[in-house]
Amino acid sequence: MRRRNPSLLRQPRRRYANLVWLALCGFVILLFFIVLLSKDNQRTSRPATTQANVFNDHVRFTKLLILSSPFFVVQTSFRQEHTLGLNVTEEWLSPNSATRQLNDQIALAKSLVVIARESNNLQFAWELSAQIRNSQILLSNAATRRIPLTISESETAIKDMALLLYQANQLHYDSATMIMRLKAKIQSLEEQMSVVTDKSSKYGQIAAEEVPKGLYCLGVQLTAEWFRTPSIQRKRAETKASSWKLEDNSLHHFCVFSDNILATSVVVNSTAINSRNPDKVVFHLVTDEVNYAPMKAWFSMNDFRGVTVEVQKVEDFSWLNASYVPVLKQLQDSDTKNYYFSGNKDERKTPIKFRNPKYLSMLNHLRFYIPEVYPALKKVVFLDDDVVVQKDLSQLFSIDLNGNVNGAVETCMETFHRYHKYLNYSHPLIKAHFDPDACGWAFGMNVFDLVEWRKRNVTGIYHYWQEKNIDRTLWKLGTLPPGLLTFYGLTEPLDPSWHVLGLGYTNVEPKLIVKGAVLHYNGNSKPWLKIGIEKYKPFWEKYIDFHHRILQHCNVH
């Protein structure tokens, strides 16, 4: 029997083993390439900072392990699927939004930039700023194309920013440090603001108290006209022939107490122009010795549609003396003089506006003596010199005050001007007699029933409270607080359209200005000053004849 060749018998087995071995090798090689590619895709980005010694190697390795973990890969895949196609609202509300994550990082990084600069770590501040710009560019590009950011686009920026934020944590730029430093910064800014505000208040008060050159010149020129022009004096004497009008209670009597000739002229002229019966209007003006002659000259030289104008000076009222008037008595006290004229007693703790000597002027306090100034009159409308009359005021004299003495517009409808704003409620006298939430009212356009005034001895009430306030513990500022005390329970509210306030310090609604019968420039920004509010000046200037020869000579414009 013939044997087969052994090599021929084993050949099929060798071919099969070779094929299996080759397939296995190819699979291993393919797997190797897959793993290699996977490693390339998961390789971390280079750090944003170039300073290698900032981070320890084990910290960086831990961070990279977290970022390249399977959970992170699955999460990024999930984000990428669900980010595409979202609208802006969904993008911001999504907890997996790359856009939201970038914005959160940017907000934190901006705060850290400030702290880094304050700590003089300028290199780190620069790196943060650069990374903020990179992240903002990504967000800007996404917004331009209107497609939300994907994780694959933002992953590098998020990682780089995360490393910088971690570095900030290592530098102790944590939340507690940030809060403390920001609080210190805020406190510093508040102190600076307080200093600036105090200076602004002082300079504003000084500007408000100045006498413009034009007004000073006007007084000088009118004084010269009065003494060198006999015809003006004769005309004034002829006006006194109609003095019966000054005591006729069937006419409409207005009083103004002022040392400002031009402002008083605007009050008289605007009232005359808007009056239906100017011949029934009588103005009682009181000024001081310095302005007495020029005031008489001005109202003698100019005609105000037949309005009767009386000019007096406060120095002629002999009954205004220290034995009768508490304010004049207080002026004899050295502490009061120091308080108002030097401010040394309180070491300048009291704001300058509270120490304005004008609050001791008798022209300012004369409003509490109107029945004694005009003993024959029964009803008077008091006007401040910083008002403009836009409508006929004759109806004010027929308003029923319901037995009250003072008719005034309340000021607590729109603001918080109640009694507690003006008075010291820690004082037992104030606390016991006055409701802190009682509504305040405005001086500047007031209807006074002088019959009721005399009957209730209102001037005596005013004297009582002035004497109680000799140490300035009840109130500090002006004539409104004593007015609130004096006329408490004696004031009848008027319709707000009769008296519109605020044109000298705030914005007033245009519709209120249109409806207002009297516009009041209360505040420092008077219309005759450079600091006056420009948009409100035309309401005042329209009642001035700037072509008048004396106004042109004095460059009043």
Please, are residues 305 and 272 in contact by the beta-carbon 8 Å criterion?
Answer: yes
Which of 221-225, 331-335, 437-441 has the lowest average pLDDT?
331-335
* Per-residue model confidence (pLDDT) at position 270: 98
Cα–Cα distance for residue pair 152/140, rounded to 1 Å: 16
* Per-residue model confidence (pLDDT) at position 485: 96
- DSSP letter at 85? T
Which of 58-62, 368-372, 428-432 has the lowest average pLDDT?
58-62
Taking residues 310-320, what's their average pLDDT? 95
Cα–Cα distance for residue pair 485/503, rounded to 1 Å: 26
* Per-residue model confidence (pLDDT) at position 315: 94
Complete edge-to-edge strand list for the sheet that includes strand 499-500: 387-389, 518-520, 499-500
Beta bridge mates, 283: 254, 309
Q: What is the pLDDT of residues 474-514, one digit of tens each?
A: 987 778 999 999 999 999 999 999 999 999 998 999 999 99
Helix (H) or strand (E) holding 388: strand 387-389
* Per-residue model confidence (pLDDT) at position 151: 80
Please, are residues 378 and 249 in contact by the beta-carbon 8 Å criterion?
Answer: yes
- pLDDT of 351 > 60? The answer is no
183 vs 176, residue with greater confidence:
183
* Per-residue model confidence (pLDDT) at position 88: 55
Mean pLDDT estimate for the chain: 81
CA distances from 104 to 97, 133, 158, 178, 353 (A): 11, 14, 10, 16, 48
Q: What is the pLDDT of residues 144-157, one digit of tens each?
A: 887 878 888 888 88
* Per-residue model confidence (pLDDT) at position 207: 61
- pLDDT of 41 > 60? The answer is no
* Per-residue model confidence (pLDDT) at position 73: 34
Q: What is the pLDDT of residues 548-557, one digit of tens each?
A: 999 999 999 8
Cα–Cα distance for residue pair 384/522, rounded to 1 Å: 9
What percent of the chain stands above pLDDT 90? 48
Taking residues 353-363, what's their average pLDDT? 64
* Per-residue model confidence (pLDDT) at position 152: 83
Please, are residues 435 and 419 in contact by the beta-carbon 8 Å criterion?
Answer: yes
* Per-residue model confidence (pLDDT) at position 243: 80
Taking residues 29-42, what's their average pLDDT? 54
135 vs 361, residue with greater confidence:
135
Residue 118: band (very low, low, confident or very high) from pLDDT cuts 50, 70, 90? confident
- pLDDT of 440 > 50? The answer is yes
Which of 47, 85, 53, 49 has the alpha carbon at shortest distance from 67?
A: 47
- pLDDT of 28 > 70? The answer is no
Please, are residues 466 and 423 in contact by the beta-carbon 8 Å criterion?
Answer: no
Cα–Cα distance for residue pair 137/81, rounded to 1 Å: 23
Taking residues 196-208, what's their average pLDDT? 68
* Per-residue model confidence (pLDDT) at position 419: 92
Residue 12: band (very low, low, confident or very high) from pLDDT cuts 50, 70, 90? very low
Taking residues 450-456, what's their average pLDDT? 97
108 vs 519, residue with greater confidence:
519
Please, are residues 445 and 499 in contact by the beta-carbon 8 Å criterion?
Answer: yes
Pairing of strands 379-383, 499-500: unpaired
Query: How many residues would you count in the chain?
Result: 557
Please, are residues 267 and 540 in contact by the beta-carbon 8 Å criterion?
Answer: no
Please, are residues 408 and 493 in contact by the beta-carbon 8 Å criterion?
Answer: yes
Helix (H) or strand (E) holding 318: none
Pairing of strands 387-389, 518-520: antiparallel
Q: Which amino acid is at 110?
A: K
Cα–Cα distance for residue pair 133/330, rounded to 1 Å: 68
- pLDDT of 345 > 60? The answer is no
Cα–Cα distance for residue pair 212/531, rounded to 1 Å: 11
Cα–Cα distance for residue pair 420/257, rounded to 1 Å: 28
Taking residues 419-435, what's their average pLDDT? 93
What percent of the chain stands above pLDDT 70? 73
Residue 95: band (very low, low, confident or very high) from pLDDT cuts 50, 70, 90? low
